[in-house]
Amino acid sequence: SQNRLLIKNGKIVNATGMQDGDVFVEDGIIKQIGTNLIIPGGTRVIDARGRYLLPGGIDPHVHFSFEFMGQTSADDFYQGTKAAISGGTTMIIDFAIPKKKESLLEQYDKYRLMADDKVCCDYALHCGITWWSDKVKQEMEILCKERGVNSFKAFMAYKDDLMIRDDELYKMFETCRQLGAVAMVHAENGDIIVENSKKLLSKGVKGPEGHEQSRPEEVEAEATNRACVIAKQVNCPLYVVHVMSKEAGDVISKYREQGWPVYGEALAAGLGTDGRPCCSSNYGLAAAHIMSPPLRSDPATKERLMDLLASDGLQVTGSDNCTFSSKQKAVGQNDFSKIPNGVNGVEDRMSVVWEKGVQSGKITPPRFVEITSTNAAKIFNLYPSKGAIGLGSDADIVIWNPNKTRVISAKTHHQATDINIFEGMECHGVPEYVIVSGRVCVDDGELKVVQGHGRFNPTPLYPPTVYDSLATEAEKANYAPLPDLITETADQVSQLHVN
Ligand code: URP
Ligand code: ZN
Ligand code: ZN
Ligand code: ZN
């Protein structure tokens, strides 16, 4: 049957360590692990000798088809998940972000509608908090208890569009704490950025080089510290998305050393490239590197961020994939503050982290698994279905050849953009096979994805990893899985089996 797969002779890597062994997969689930397994006839066998078997990457931070800064990001849920899979990522988490005054539930429904039939791999959703009211609070509760969303991102930047004030942040964190949800934050001081931008533009600094000047490291570090302070007032754990500077990373490390549950996410972009191209006279190249917080022009920043991942100062890697074509980026030609913010990375994150982490000798393969998959699964309460190669886990598996190399290029990538910020980077480690819920979607290097193969994964409240150090005994009694929210239509099922 095509539902059965035996992966032989690989080195199985989990966050906890490595072991040699065979893995038997049936109906999308890992059913046996070991040696000399007794396997039904007709099972497909893949020989993984000399390769690592990694839990599929989880990218907890992407924006597909995101309406942002007057544009819609170019990768949709089909292209985005296809690109993810080609690079060894088998699950993504996107953000349903309402505009101010808009309903969170409507935005959630819109994202489910956009994604459900398009995703080639499993996905989950965070929700954005861009304004505050009793209605927002009520909708957060419904999202948590009935829609399978356990995480909310607040914006301390993008004033006028997405930013909320400190008192609103306080109420949002308090609500997350009451619900048992994960509070996430984009930490930059949005007021300072607006003032700095106006001043730069009036002085005639209009090109992409103005972007980083308007939002230096301390503007990120100040907001990171402020978010930690506010979260602490209401006893709420905190997840800081896209940590882009050493100063902000150090703030997170400081709170962690005090025993506070703060988590920090580094990005493929921040580890694999830097902000120097933003000063290039090639506008297209410069604009392709514009994101927020900015890629830092100090090339040492990327090494420091990898060091923080190695020392557990940071815990997670994402991509913040939010791609815009050169044509879309061109709208900011005469005003850096209008360049749509966002970069690629969902496809190349695994390679970039392997190259800068494992290949450079800074981290081990188990730590690689931890920061590309396991920790995200634990924080968002998907573990151990996701984030592990274990009995009963989803068969999201990458067969990774550490001895092969590839060179990243927009000419060969699967993303919907014409520029790749990692252009020309040589990476060791190639995903030769990528198994997504038991289906071989990269087959000896050949990409064979199926639109609609993925499913929405509800994320239950009170992730034990996040809450165990804070929750009361009464709350711990509430640690229960959500009811099954998977709503697979008959159409989707038949689509899965046409190939
Ligand atoms: O520049 C970025 N990061 N674009 C995506 C939106 C966000 O802030 O995550
Ligand atoms: Zn952000
Ligand atoms: Zn983002
Ligand atoms: Zn099938």
Cβ atoms < 10 Å from Cβ of 470: 14
CA of 435 to the centre of ligand 2 (A): 30
pLDDT at res. 498: 32
pLDDT at res. 499: 30
User: What's the helix, strand, coil split of the chain in %, to 5?
Assistant: 35, 25, 40
Asked whether the whole model's pTM tops 0.90, one would answer: yes
CA of 10 to the centre of ligand 2 (A): 38
Model confidence at 490, in pLDDT bands (50, 70, 90)? very low
- Rounded CA gap, 324 and 166, in Å? 31
- Rounded CA gap, 95 and 62, in Å? 7
pLDDT at res. 480: 59
Task: Give strand ranges (E) for 279-392.
Answer: 316-318
Model confidence at 2, in pLDDT bands (50, 70, 90)? low
- Rounded CA gap, 494 and 387, in Å? 28
11-50 per-position pLDDT tens digit: 999 999 999 999 999 999 999 999 889 999 999 999 999 9
Contacts for 299-302 with beta carbons within 8 Å, 24 or more apart? Answer: 299/274, 301/244, 301/245, 301/246, 301/270, 301/274, 302/270, 302/271, 302/272, 302/273, 302/274, 302/356
CA of 406 to the centre of ligand 3 (A): 27
Residue with tokens 């396991």: 374
Which has the minimum average pLDDT: 33-42, 88-97, 326-335, 366-375?
33-42
Average pLDDT over residues 449-457: 98
The interface pTM score, or ipTM, of the predicted complex is 0.92
pLDDT at res. 475: 85
Q: Check if 291 has its Cβ closer than 6 Å to any atom of ligand 1.
A: yes
Model confidence at 489, in pLDDT bands (50, 70, 90)? very low
Average pLDDT over residues 174-180: 97
* Most ligand 1 atoms within 8 A of CB, residue of 322, 337, 339, 343 to mutate: 322
pLDDT at res. 110: 98
Residue with tokens 């953000």: 95
358-372 per-position pLDDT tens digit: 999 999 999 999 999
Would the pLDDT of 455 be above 80?
A: yes
3-class secondary-structure state, position 53? strand
Cβ atoms < 10 Å from Cβ of 255: 21
> How much is the mean pLDDT over the chain?
94
